[in-house]
Structure 1
Amino acid sequence: MSNYIAYHFTIKPLKPATEILIAELGAAGFESFVESETGVTAYIQEGDFDETMLEDIFVLSSNEFEIIYTSEKIEQVNWNAEWERNFDPIVVNRKCTVRAPFHDIPNTEFDIIIEPKMSFGTGHHETTHMMLALMMEQSFENDHVLDMGCGTGVLAILASKMKAKSIDAIDIDEWCYENTVENIGRNNCPNIKAFLGDASLLDNQSYQRVIANINRNILLVDLPKYTQVLDKDGLLFLSGFYHDDIPEVRKKCESLGLEFVKNLEKNEWVACLFINKT
């Protein structure tokens, strides 16, 4: 398994430069992001990194923002300590707490324990936070659920705690797959099965709920697969894109027989809910 390189960006002013930088770095191949009071740290596998990648990040050369950065190699053994220094618990809609094992036990309906390592999905990012909130507005009881791009497994774990019958959690990144397996055990969710791979694993499957918090470009490519495995009147939860992307995502969904239900929005990021009418 590869080591990671961490780039620590200090940004002035934070908005909207942070969101633009994350979007550009994500498109370039950076996998995970941790926002802070001063900017953001971006992670990429050492084998995937090329110093010329940063030359194409437009926001770094913009006169509108002041962005400086440093980098370091992150060894696997340092990751738990890195998160212990930076990971604070969050509470979503007073119903769901996402915390690390070393945090106090909360008094909320859903308690999710996450040790995120190099994976995306602690609830701190707007997309994960909104997906948790959107999920809690619906029923998952006795449903078969798919969590695509599962990251830490946090959304799959919430589905399990909301009494879903079974959950398949899939991620293309080995860090995320292994992290999800660990967090499944940590939260005592035996009805979740984790898989390493992509949408090609979805042949001959059937779900009542599909969750996908992935970047827009992958969503647009994989939406036909999600629709294919989603039962009639099943719900599709999408995030990982901006408010300005809604028309394109909605057009693609509606062309596949998906009907728009609602969306949540936070700092230009959105989470959308669709229902399958085919």
Structure 2
Amino acid sequence: MKGKWIEIKVITSPDAIEMVSGIFYSLDVKGVAIEDPNDILQKLNTPSWDYVDMNLYEYGDKAAVVKGYFSDEDNIDEILKYINERLEELKSDGFDIGEGKILVNQVYEEDWATSWKKYYKVTKLGKRIVVKPRWEEYTPEDNEIVIELDPGMAFGTGTHETTILCLELLEKYLKGGETVFDIGTGSGILAIASSKFGAEKVVGVDIDEVAVDAARENVEYNNIGNVEIRHGNLTDVLTEKADIVVANIIADIIINMTSSIKNFIKQEGLFIVSGIIQDRKNDVLKELENNNLKIIEIKEMGEWVGIVSKPE
């Protein structure tokens, strides 16, 4: 999907990132990017999962930016009206959404890609994983697992804390020979990593066509034959069960899928989730426990939480 995009930015507060992201995900968004001031120093030294907006500070050092990308054929006026209504609802409910300002810009995919690629370099994650942009050169050391990526406009270059949490948990719990489902696969990094950790079969699922295209290209580029990328919702495209289901998405989506997730996990299987900010940790834990999923491990990194559970 090349060409022209409409970028809608919401200037908000770090605490409202997840809620504002949820507004975008409730629309036919083609991609979402986030700029969090809590991560900006890390981004300047260790490139992160989205293009680093070097103008972030013009919104104030406490502001966060959530950006959604839409087709120029979408009804942008209706989308803007919807976003504004949802932001007003959040304010009425007492949430701190910061400035709550909405900005609209027209971008071209080629320009967007060129802008962020200069910040995206070879990065080692966890004990063995090295994420290497396709255009960079790197000679792996002993025992290192190299994943080559070009995320395009899909979520997931791998260097955000939520992805690192999932990678570390997958590395710990994958023993070899398992079936893994990666829900909200983005660039496909967790699906590819699962294969490289020894999974026998991996299925990545994403509702975002841009992500599906990027993930399929990355799977092919890494020369992996046991990873399949499917387009659609969880229940629409999966009928079998996995040994491990991993989901690096926002807390609200994790909560919504929890009631049905056991239909896709084997009895002794695991549900690994991240993308959960600290303030939502207890909400997710409560929902998991209410649906008879036993908590195995809670792992934290910065403001983010990863949780491992299993059917009781």
State whether TM-score is above 0.5.
Answer: yes
For residue 274 of structure 1, report the CA deviation from its aligned partner.
Answer: 0.8
Q: Distance in 1 between matches of 2:174 and 2:119?
A: 33
2:185 corresponds in structure 1 to 150
Q: Distance in 2 between matches of 1:204 and 1:172?
A: 16
2:215 corresponds in structure 1 to 180
Structure 2 alignment gaps of length 5 or more: 26-30, 41-55, 57-63
The answer to whether the 8 A contact 1:80-1:115 is kept is: no
Q: Distance in 1 between matches of 2:262 and 2:290?
A: 11
Q: Distance in 2 between matches of 1:130 and 1:4?
A: 31
1:40-95 deviations in whole A, cap 9, x for unaligned?
Answer: 46232142743342565468xx9996788854222233343233233233221242
Is 1:261 matched with 2:299? Answer: no
Q: Distance in 2 between matches of 1:63 and 1:8?
A: 17
2:264 corresponds in structure 1 to 229
Structure showing greater relative contact order (alpha-carbon pairs closer than 8 Å, 6 or more residues apart): 2
Q: Distance in 2 between matches of 1:48 and 1:234?
A: 43
The answer to whether the 8 A contact 1:240-1:271 is kept is: yes
1:51 corresponds in structure 2 to 80
The answer to whether the 8 A contact 2:11-2:98 is kept is: no
For residue 206 of structure 1, report the CA deviation from its aligned partner.
Answer: 1.5
Q: Secondary structure at the match of 1:137?
A: helix
Q: Distance in 1 between matches of 2:184 and 2:85?
A: 28
1:100 corresponds in structure 2 to 133
Change (3 A) 1:97 1:71: farther
The answer to whether the 8 A contact 1:79-1:117 is kept is: no
1:155-211 deviations in whole A, cap 9, x for unaligned?
Answer: 000001011100011000100111110000111111000100001235530110101
1:125 corresponds in structure 2 to 160
2:45 corresponds in structure 1 to none
1:14 corresponds in structure 2 to none
When the two chains are superposed, the root-mean-square deviation of aligned CA atoms in Å is 2.9
Q: Distance in 2 between matches of 1:8 and 1:124?
A: 22
Is 1:89 matched with 2:122? Answer: yes
Q: Aligned match of 2:24 in 15, 23, 29?
A: 29
1:223-251 deviations in whole A, cap 9, x for unaligned?
Answer: 23321121111111111222232222222
The answer to whether the 8 A contact 1:127-1:240 is kept is: yes
Is 1:78 matched with 2:111? Answer: yes
The answer to whether the 8 A contact 2:17-2:66 is kept is: no
2:231 corresponds in structure 1 to 196
Task: Output the amino acid matched with 2:80.
Answer: E
For residue 149 of structure 1, report the CA deviation from its aligned partner.
Answer: 0.5
Change (3 A) 1:116 1:139: same
Q: Distance in 2 between matches of 1:68 and 1:89?
A: 35
Q: Aligned match of 1:139 in 174, 188, 197?
A: 174
Q: Distance in 1 between matches of 2:118 and 2:66?
A: 14
Q: Distance in 2 between matches of 1:27 and 1:35?
A: 15
TM-score by length of 2: 0.76
Is the deviation greater in 249-258 or in 144-153? 249-258
Q: Distance in 2 between matches of 1:270 and 1:45?
A: 29
Change (3 A) 1:29 1:69: closer
Is the deviation greater in 199-208 or in 226-235? 199-208
Task: Output the amino acid matched with 1:32.
Answer: V
Q: Distance in 1 between matches of 2:278 and 2:232?
A: 28
1:121-162 deviations in whole A, cap 9, x for unaligned?
Answer: 112322112111221222241101100100000000000101
The answer to whether the 8 A contact 1:143-1:166 is kept is: yes
Q: Distance in 1 between matches of 2:96 and 2:260?
A: 42
2:51 corresponds in structure 1 to none
Task: Output the amino acid matched with 2:150.
Answer: E
1:89-118 deviations in whole A, cap 9, x for unaligned?
Answer: 322124211121122315351111110111
1:240 corresponds in structure 2 to 275
For residue 217 of structure 1, report the CA deviation from its aligned partner.
Answer: 1.9
Aligned length in residues: 270
The answer to whether the 8 A contact 2:9-2:68 is kept is: no
